[in-house]
Amino acid sequence: MTDTINDVLETFEFLDDWEDRYKYIIDLGRNLPDFDEKYMVEENRVHGCTSRVWLVHELVDGKIVFKGESDAHIVRGLVALILMIFSGKPAKEITSTEARDTLDQLGLEKHLSPMRTNGLFSMVGKIKSIAAAYQGSSA
C-alpha cells in the first residue's frame, strides 16, 4: 500500500460523485497486502462490524504495524483507510490520534450505513486498545 491518508483526502476532493468514491475505497482494499488465512481466527476478529474483519499487529522498531482483512470489498477498503491512519506509528501517537477528524473530512459517516460506521469505529477502538497495551508495557 503506497497511498497515504493525505492522498485519499486529495483524491476525494476530485471525486464529486459518491459512486466514484466507493469505487476508489474498494480499490484501496484491493491493494492491501496479502493476509494469511491462519490469522483469520476469533482472537483477531473485530467485533461490532457487519462484515467479518480481522486485525493483526506486530511491533517493529518501536512502531506498531497492523495488517487487516475483511470478507467484504467495501469494508476491505475501510480497513485500508484505518491502517493508513494508524499503522506504522508508535503506541503513544496511535492512542492520541483522533481518527474521527480524518473520517469526518472524508464524509464517510454521512454515506455509510450505521452498521458500517459502527464497524469502522470498532476497528479504531481495537487498534487503540492494542496501542494502549503496548504503552502500558512501555513499548
What values do phi and psi take at 74, rounded to 5? -65, -40
- End-to-end, the C-alpha distance of the chain in Å comes to 25
Distance CA 46, CA 127 (A): 10
DSSP string, 20-41: HHHHHHHHHHHTSPP--GGG-S
Cα 137 from chain centroid?
24
Which residues are identified as catalytic? 49
